[in-house]
Structure 1
Amino acid sequence: MMNRFVLSACLVLLFGMSVSAGAEQAKVVSVNQFVEHPALDSVLRGFQDQLREEGFQVDYRVHNAQANMATANLIAQQIVGERPDLVLAIATPSAQAMAQTVKKNPSMQKTPILFSAVTDPLGAGLVKDLQNPGENITGTSDLTPMDQHLALIREFHPELTSLGVIYNSGEANSRALVDLLKAETDKAGIKLEEATVARSSDVFQASRSLVGRAQAVYVPTDNTVVSAFEALAKVCQDNKLPLYAADVDSVPRGAVAALGFDYYEHGRQAGAMAGRIFRGADPASTPVETQQELELHINLPAAQAMGVTIPQALLDRAGKILE
Structure 2
Amino acid sequence: MKRREFIAASAALLVSPRRSLAQGTRRRVGFLAMDVVEPTVQKAWLEGLRKHGWIDGRNLIIEYRYAPSPDRLPAFAAELVALSPDLLIAPNPPAAAALKSATASIPIVFVAASFPERLGLVQSMSHPGGNITGLAAVAPGFVGKLIELLREMVPTASKIAVLVNPGTPGHRLIVAEELPQTARNLGVALPIVEATTVEELDVAFASAAAEHADAISVLGDALTVNNAPRVTALAAKHRLPAIYLFRLFATNGGLISYGPDLADLFIRAGGYVDKILKGAKPSDLPVELPTKFELVINRKTANALGLTVPPTLLAQAMEVIE
Task: Provide the TM-score with structure 2 as the length reference.
Answer: 0.90
- Structure 1 residue 98: Cα displacement: 0.8
State whether structure 2 residue 105 is matched by structure 1 residue 110. yes
Alignment correspondent of 1:311: 310
Within 5 Å, give how 1:66-145 maps onto structure 2. 66=68, 68-102=69-103, 109-143=104-138, 145=142
Q: Aligned partners of 1:16 and 1:284: how far apart in 2?
A: 39
Q: Which runs of 5+ in 1 are unaligned?
A: 103-108
The one-letter code sitting in structure 1 at the alignment partner of 2:126 is Q
Alignment correspondent of 1:279: 278
Q: Aligned partners of 1:261 and 1:61: how far apart in 2?
A: 26
Cα distance change on mapping 1:47 and 1:37 into 2, 3 Å: closer
The one-letter code sitting in structure 2 at the alignment partner of 1:17 is P
Alignment correspondent of 2:66: 64
Q: Aligned partners of 2:97 and 2:10: how far apart in 1?
A: 51
Cα deviations by residue, 1:190-241 (Å, 9 ceiling, x for unpaired): 1111111122231122111100421101112222122223223222212321
Counterpart contact for 1:149–1:259, Cα < 8 Å: yes
Cα distance change on mapping 1:269 and 1:182 into 2, 3 Å: farther
Q: Which runs of 5+ in 2 are unaligned?
A: none
Picking from 200, 203, 223, the partner of 2:201 is 203
- Structure 1 residue 307: Cα displacement: 2.6
Matched residue SS, 1:268: helix
Alignment correspondent of 2:23: 23
Counterpart contact for 2:205–2:238, Cα < 8 Å: no
Alignment correspondent of 2:320: 321
Q: Aligned partners of 1:180 and 1:173: how far apart in 2?
A: 11
Q: Aligned partners of 2:179 and 2:120: how far apart in 1?
A: 21
Matched residue SS, 1:290: coil
Q: Aligned partners of 1:187 and 1:251: how far apart in 2?
A: 27
- Structure 1 residue 273: Cα displacement: 0.9
Task: Provide the TM-score with structure 1 as the length reference.
Answer: 0.90
Cα distance change on mapping 1:173 and 1:205 into 2, 3 Å: same
Alignment correspondent of 1:225: 224
The one-letter code sitting in structure 2 at the alignment partner of 1:286 is L
The one-letter code sitting in structure 1 at the alignment partner of 2:63 is R
- Structure 1 residue 257: Cα displacement: 0.9
Alignment correspondent of 2:156: 159
Percentage of matched positions with identical amino acids? 26
Q: Aligned partners of 1:180 and 1:36: how far apart in 2?
A: 30
Picking from 140, 146, 149, the partner of 1:149 is 146
